Structure 1
Amino acid sequence: MYCGSGWLPLVDVLTRKLAARARAGDRQGDELDELTVWDRRRPLAEVVDEVDVLLPSNAHIDADVIAAAPHLRLIQQPAAGVDNIDREAARARGIPVCNAPGTNHVSVAEAALLLILALARRLPVAMARFRAAELGAPQGIELAGRTLGIVGMGRSGEALGERARALGMTVVGTRSSSSQEELDGLLATADVVSLHCPLTEATRGLIDARALARMKPGALLVNCARGPVLDREAVSEALASGHLGGLGLDTYWQEPWDPDDPLYQRDDVVTLPHVAGSTEESFDRITDVVCDNVDRLRRGQPLLHQVS
């Protein structure tokens, strides 16, 4: 069962691949080849009693959901992040939790670069000037010669760094093993900061008022990680004061978000509808991982990318 509230093109791709593998294996009536989608008019815990495999996406898989699924054999996240899954409850039931790392890092890196470019060229203001038939405004900035700070030099962070260097930017980065002093140095040095770290207890609220104060006046900030990595109140205040030069978001504190939220209406804020990982190529790779693990589950083989 797919549990996400969006990314439905992924469901279409997965449905086709499961059907193709069933035909290739001459299987009929195998429940592991049948994909359903959670009807959100009912609580998830009420509809999982016959489910063998859960695909959480952005749904919260808590202990109650796991307890309500007596046939559950696998929780397969069709993405990298597993912060919305109660892994302890799954472990207590002996249910493996797997993810799909390394499948959308190029897509996420390109989306982060899109947000950086949009902020550098003040896209919301430019669109307003176009509607007003005003030529030559607003004035933006070039990225060449500037410094990009990447918080989270994993796959997507590294991929963004490669692309930024091609534009002539200097790239600095931190990892989970980096010290607070190293993060502070990155924030003080960077003209643009892009977030690519997982959401953990250590990174929740990582970019708070203290961190924002250490950033250069007018620096740009992009978040393609998780919404709660940013302290919303602190970010709003930094934008209002002008200390933060612009904010690019693909992830939010609450999803779905309120499109009428005044924060998202600002002309120094650029938003995407959580599509950083949504490309034909990434969905193809993700669904390959899901199908491979379903096949392995059927055959009793070791699972790929098991995180707990």
Structure 2
Amino acid sequence: MKNRNLRLEFPLHMMLIPGVLLVFVYCYIPMAGIVIAFQQFVPVKGIFGSEWTGLDNFRYVLDMPDIGQIVWNTFYISIMKIAAGLIVPVTVALMLNEVARTFIKRGIQTLIYLPHFLSWIILSGILIDILSPSQGIVNQALKGLGFDPIFFLGSNNWFPYVLVSSDVWKEFGFSTIVFLAAITGINPTLYEAARMDGAGHMRQAWHITLPGIVPIIVLLATMSLGNVLNAGFEQVYNLYSPSVYESGDILDTLIYRIGIMEAQFGVATTIGLAKSFVSFILISLSYYLAYRLVNYRIF
């Protein structure tokens, strides 16, 4: 029996080989570059010829005047994105579930799903035009209502919320589909029993639909812990400017500026290594919580 299962599963294991090779080549082999965090790395000399500095790069990072604010920005923006990225899709999924006409529901799903396929290069250009303090449609509307225009992308008070709201706008359609799929797994007899007891749509949604998708909500929330230090480099890089570094600068943009623009490869690798170490702990914690709370297992 064991040999028979092995023969049946062998083609499936062979299909994994290309994926495993890609992960090994692009994820594991580059880990040798971690040693750059302990060197005064010079590209011409290479890893073996660069001067070994021990923990000097780590001390340099800890002494950076803005490192505390940047770490706080990363956590703050990420946590807001995770929270909004759960609340909005769940709410929209509950509302779409009440739409009776299939073509209307599918049309709405298509419209809210489209931004997911657009890159942040395109969306950033759209946002810059929409939020322009002089010609943007948002500020034109504010002027029409008698309010002063707001420089959304140049104000430290507004910039983090622009990041969160635009991220939700781009991704909530994709997450909504996940929750709608979870709703289809709820036993329809529960709704029939609720209707017989006189429960309306709101009570059915609150007492049947929402509790029915709580496991997937908990699973996605716990799995999101591993992304707490990933506040969205591509989005922030295309929208921020020096005027909003105080509220919008995150670890990934700091690594880019130090490593690519200033050529301090050792310092940039040090920050990346620390970020990866903390992310590894958070990912491990998220898988443990997912197993304990909803019995989710990778294997």
TM-score category of the 2 structures, normalised to the smaller one: under 0.3
Which structure has more RCO (C-alpha within 8 Å, separation ≥ 6)?
2
TM-score, normalising length: structure 2: 0.25
Q: Which has the higher strand share?
A: 1
Q: Which has the higher helix share?
A: 2
